[in-house]
Structure 1
Amino acid sequence: MLATASYVFAICVLVKTQIGEGIAAPFQSALDPAGIQAERILDLWHLTLTVCCVVFAAILIACLIALLRAPRAGRETPADISSTLNAEPRLRRSVIAATVVSVVLLFGLVFADVLTDRALSRLPVADAVHIELTGHQWWWEARYAADEGAPAFTVANELHVPVGRPVVVSLVAADVIHTFWAPNLHGKKDMIPGRSATIEFRADRAGSYRGQCAEFCGVQHALMAFVVVADPAADYEAWAARQREASPTPVGALEARGQQLFMTGSCARCHTISGTPATGRPGPDLTHFASRGTLAAGTLVNDRDALARWITDPGALKPAAMMPPTRLAPSDLHALVAYLETLR
């Protein structure tokens, strides 16, 4: 309850992690909180670690004293145990005192845990950004609620939030159990199919923070990452305004040909691009796909070469991915990639 796997694992998290094919991920560490909830969790972790270290040191010292004071026998003389018999009342008092101290420390940690849980649930959520986050095998779908008359919009695998403003995330699992975990911002929250869950956090420092599904959800669980980008208020509003817009119309012949290939092929059956006939639901929304830093939930950097490889054979890069391979002539693949790169 107190020293959960989240805290223990935090010791082993590197300042820079690697995901996919050598991609430098954003900063990810529970030991560097970027929000008030993460700070409370870190405070509890420090308290628990301190108490455990003190108790461990006390036990080692007691064992050392016992070894040094133990009666010793010579080769020809037996050990004199009279001194230990005389010390029995003192030992009894020491054991009783150690038991009392242990109980007090245990209840103290339980009390600190309860206070931390209450503090985590007391974030004021007035003027909050509301996001419905759905976990799929193996990617994330984020739907931003309508805000002050502005329409809702959907993105995938990359969340933007305003610095200093609370965020309420409604968690949904589309298939199996997933767990939302952005250690710089909050603890873990399970996502169970058929049940609703909510997590609230506030980013107090601008930056990009890596998140990860923290519950084994299938063979590509390790490649189910997401990024939370904390923007200054003005930058966030500009980003949200762009996401609400329809996709740009291709201006070049190559891009227009790529759009036609997308709409007439299998792509449009699985993906949505706002402002076009593509309204597929099984896969991520691609309306502003080119504005994202990675593709396939953090598996690859989002550049021309990786995109072409992903379209051609997703299973070679992310085995068991739901997206089927797409065999195209080199010229057609070039046109399709060119079109997708316009979706900013």
Structure 2
Amino acid sequence: MVRAMLRCLCMLSTVVLLAGCRGPQNFLFAEGTAADRLARLGWIALISFSVVTVVVWCLLVAVVSRRRGSFGEHAPVDTTSGINWIIVGGLIVPITVLSTLFFFSLDTLRDFPMGKLMHPAPSIRVTARQWWFDAEYLDPSLPNRFHAPTELHIPAGAPVNLELVTADVIHSFWVPKLHGKVDMVPGMTNRIRLQADHPGIYDGECGEYCGMQHAHMRLRVFADTPADYARWKSRQLADASEPQTPAEQRGKADFMAAPCAVCHTIRGTDAHGTVGPDLTHVGSRTRIAGGMLVNNTANLQAWIVHAQSFKPGTQMPDINSLSGQQLSELTLYLQSLK
């Protein structure tokens, strides 16, 4: 019996250790100021509950391993001998642990005034839609606003104020290594300060169930060096580049003739749709389909033709009226938009 319990304890310890391995969504290893405050609270909670768990297991092992005799060897039962254990283990310890964590949580919450006006004002507005994120850059230093769907670029080492809204249902903005979950509620505007301490790519996602494709609503935050961020902004401000080859020119004509131009915007062309993501610089993005697919030729063509197979319920319809050559030329045109 004791050996079985020890084996279970070893297996449980292994699971706990494996769960602590670093991963892209592990908030306990923060890379930003806000996430660091939350990680400290997480470590306090994890260590506290781990200590309590080990103590409880030790007590259970001690009880199970106690010597047992016959009824004739035992003194009469003392019904009051376990009262102290009940008071300490059932009241004092839980109240102490939970109260401590409660006050640490309140102290952490004071650093996250979600609805408070920020100074300076938010420079990026992130809008959640079913099922993708759209970042609109509002920085007053920019001559014009522009949109960056699915991929958010910020300068590393500098705080960036974000305004979070939703265009339909409740969503949640969550980039675990940079910030905690923040709900995006219809009719409400939340504001947060996002900061990445080091250059890198940080994966995010919607943290609130928002419909059948909730699991495929992704976000990537690129923390660029100041020089790279300035170059990226300069490229984003420019209109779409003109097609250079006859195949790309035919692809542009196919885009304008297909339903694509009704739903999407390509600045510098007659496509001004606002239903889907802005495609002005789609060729420079690493992912498509709301962050679900890697942006390569095969995925882009498959997404155009069979979007509903990949993401049932999305507003992107299947476009199966294109011939093989037209699909290839359309893909070449979209990939040229960098």
Give the TM-score normalised by the residue count of structure 2. Answer: 0.86
The number of aligned residues is 319
Letter in 2 for 1:153: F
Of 205, 208, 227, which residue of structure 2 is paired with 1:212? 205
CA RMSD of aligned residues (A): 2.7
Partner of 1:117: 109
Shift in Å, 1:275 = 1.0
Structure 2 distance, partners of 1:200, 1:173, is 18
DSSP 3-state at the match of 2:278: coil
1:241 aligns with 2:234: yes
After superposition, residues 9-48 of structure 1 pair within 5 angstroms as: 27-48=24-45
Extract unaligned runs of 5+ from structure 2. Answer: 1-15
Structure 2 distance, partners of 1:28, 1:92, is 44
Structure 2 distance, partners of 1:28, 1:181, is 10
Letter in 1 for 2:333: Y
Shift in Å, 1:28 = 3.0
Extract unaligned runs of 5+ from structure 1. Answer: 1-8, 17-26
- Going from structure 1 to structure 2, the CA distance change for 1:37 and 1:133 (only over 3 Å counts) comes to same
DSSP 3-state at the match of 2:111: helix
Give the TM-score normalised by the residue count of structure 1. Answer: 0.84
Of 303, 316, 335, which residue of structure 1 is paired with 2:329? 335
Q: Deviations over 1:72-114 (max 9, x none)?
A: 434xx263136x46x83xx545544443343233221111111
- Going from structure 1 to structure 2, the CA distance change for 1:59 and 1:104 (only over 3 Å counts) comes to same
Letter in 2 for 1:191: M
1:161 aligns with 2:158: no
Structure 1 distance, partners of 2:154, 2:113, is 19
DSSP 3-state at the match of 1:200: strand
CA contact (8 A) 1:40 1:120 kept: no
Of 152, 155, 158, which residue of structure 1 is paired with 2:145? 152
Shift in Å, 1:289 = 0.4
Partner of 1:57: 54
Shift in Å, 1:31 = 2.6
Percent of matched pairs sharing the same residue: 36
Partner of 2:302: 309
Of 46, 57, 76, which residue of structure 2 is paired with 1:81? 76
CA contact (8 A) 1:134 1:142 kept: yes
Structure 2 distance, partners of 1:71, 1:330, is 80
Letter in 2 for 1:235: D
Shift in Å, 1:265 = 2.3
1:107 aligns with 2:102: no
Structure 2 distance, partners of 1:339, 1:67, is 72
Shift in Å, 1:249 = 1.0
Structure 2 distance, partners of 1:310, 1:69, is 65
Structure 2 distance, partners of 1:260, 1:72, is 91
After superposition, residues 111-260 of structure 1 pair within 5 angstroms as: 111-121=103-113, 130-260=123-253
Q: Deviations over 1:281-315 (max 9, x none)?
A: 10000000000001101221111121111111211
- Going from structure 1 to structure 2, the CA distance change for 1:301 and 1:64 (only over 3 Å counts) comes to closer
Shift in Å, 1:276 = 0.9
